[in-house]
């Protein structure tokens, strides 16, 4: 279908959670969802930054419906507390799993002893999803909709083939560690959708990648992107887009009435452009043999949960 990022379907009445919502792509996804009428729950580890993000969004969207939840993806205790708060909301229609630490050093670990990239980009999201599937399913059933879990990946997954047989094994090179974390994310996301479908759940799992978003092309927002915030130089700036447009793929996955579980949205031009459904990578969407099942089992062990795809979840 033709998609216009500047004219989103009316989201009035829907409640959507965005993790990593106080900066970059997460912030702009939240702003765009709020402008479309959604009740947006901003989730991040800093209460101070959450207040700044709320103020910035209200500056662009007067009357925006916003809530905030503190979540530190480097702590399972924090994930559990945030999940309980989110599950208690009157309605929960979708979640964008955008947050995650970019601390690449091998010595950095979460409060639960996991390597930082693996812990915050993968294990914490698995634990959060496990806690929220019942609430998403209940809302979808009550309102005759489809709950949406949107996982954020990267184009590096298509460029570099990394083994995920041993999820715990973290590559020494930072960008490789990040790419492996996102490769595992894709395998989990597609396997999650298969299991949700098989159980008859009214919840769908989708994957997105933003392309390349850079500070130099990102609109100014007080406290989010201005002279007070760190400026990240990027050699791809001449060919890149702003982080506002980099958010489009995620926003489409959350709001497009025609989007289905297992869909993958990305910029039409690869690194820039309007969001389109793209061809799936068979390495992650349909892995050979029982790889998806083995990755699933490892992730449940790492996250300390069983990911039930029906109406209940067990610790």
Q: What is the pLDDT of residue 229?
A: 87
pLDDT, tens only, 113-142? 999 999 999 999 999 999 999 999 999 999
Q: What is the mean pLDDT of residues 17-46?
A: 98
Q: What is the pLDDT of residue 50?
A: 98
Average pLDDT over all residues of the chain: 95
pLDDT in the model for residue 2 = 83
Rounded to an integer, the average pLDDT of 70-83 is 98
More confident residue, 62 or 314: 62
Contact (CB, 8 A) for 150 and 254: yes
Distance CA(31)–CA(35), nearest Å, equals 6
* Run of H or E residues at 66: strand 65-70
312: pLDDT confidence band, cut at 50, 70 and 90?
Answer: very low
Q: What is the mean pLDDT of residues 46-59?
A: 98
Model confidence at 230, pLDDT cuts 50, 70, 90, reads confident
The model's confidence at residue 266, banded by pLDDT at 50, 70 and 90, is: very high
Q: What is the pLDDT of residue 110?
A: 96
**Is residue 311 very low, low, confident or very high in pLDDT (cuts 50, 70, 90)?**
low
pLDDT value at position 125?
A: 98
pLDDT in the model for residue 9: 97
Q: Is 106 a residue whose pLDDT tops 90? A: no
Residue 77 makes CB contacts below 8 A (sequence gap 6+) with 111
Query: Is the pLDDT score of 314 beyond 70?
Result: no
- Rounded to the nearest 5 degrees, what angle is found at the Cα of 66, between the Cα atoms of 60 and 70? 120
Note the pLDDT of residue 236: 81
* pLDDT exceeds cutoff 90 at 30: yes
CA 82, CA 76: separation in Å to the nearest integer? 10
Give the HSE-up count for residue 167: Cα atoms under 13 Å, Cβ half-sphere: 28
The answer to whether residue 313 scores a pLDDT higher than 70 is: no
- 225: DSSP letter: B
At residue 1, the pLDDT reads 64
> Over the stretch 164-219, which tens digit does the pLDDT of each residue have?
999 999 998 989 999 999 999 999 999 999 999 999 999 999 999 999 999 999 99
Mean pLDDT of 289-302: 97
Predicted confidence (pLDDT) per residue in 279-295, tens digit: 999 999 999 999 999 99
Q: Please report the pLDDT score of residue 231 as a whole number.
A: 83
Instruction: Answer whether 305's CB lies under 8 Å from 112's CB.
Output: no
How is residue 99 written in tokens?
Answer: 């947050």
* % of the chain exceeding 70 in pLDDT: 97
Q: Which domains does the chain have, with CATH numbers?
A: 15-303 (3.40.50.720)
């Amino acid at each position: 279908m033709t998609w216009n990022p500047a004219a989103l379907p009316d989201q009035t009445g829907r409640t959507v959670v965005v993790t990593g919502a106080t900066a970059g792509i997460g912030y702009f996804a939240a702003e765009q969802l709020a402008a479309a009428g959604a009740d947006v729950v901003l989730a991040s580890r800093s209460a101070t930054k959450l207040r700044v993000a709320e103020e910035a969004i209200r500056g662009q969207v007067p009357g925006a419906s916003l809530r905030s939840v503190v979540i530190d993806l480097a702590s399972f205790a924090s994930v559990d507390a945030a999940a309980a708060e989110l599950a208690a909301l009157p309605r929960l229609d979708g979640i964008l799993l955008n947050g995650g630490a970019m601390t690449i050093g091998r010595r950095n670990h979460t409060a639960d002893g996991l390597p930082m990239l693996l812990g915050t980009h993968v294990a914490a999201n698995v634990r959060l999803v496990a806690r929220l599937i019942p609430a998403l399913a209940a809302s979808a059933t009550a309102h005759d909709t489809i709950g949406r879990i949107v996982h954020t990946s990267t184009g590096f997954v298509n460029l570099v083939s990394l083994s995920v047989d041993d999820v715990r094994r973290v590559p020494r090179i930072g960008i490789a560690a990040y790419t492996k974390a996102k490769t595992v994310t894709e395998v989990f996301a597609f396997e999650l959708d298969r299991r949700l479908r098989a159980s008859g759940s009214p919840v769908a799992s989708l994957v997105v990648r933003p392309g390349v978003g850079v500070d130099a092309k990102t609109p100014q927002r007080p406290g989010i992107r201005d002279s007070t915030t760190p400026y990240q130089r990027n050699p791809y700036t001449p060919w890149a887009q702003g982080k506002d447009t980099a958010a489009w793929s995620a926003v489409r996955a959350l709001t497009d009435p025609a989007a289905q579980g297992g869909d993958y949205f990305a910029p039409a031009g690869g690194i820039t452009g309007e969001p389109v459904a793209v061809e799936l990578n068979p390495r992650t969407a349909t892995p050979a043999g029982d790889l998806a099942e083995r990755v699933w089992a490892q992730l449940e062990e790492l996250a300390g949960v069983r990911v039930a795809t029906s109406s209940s979840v067990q610790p």
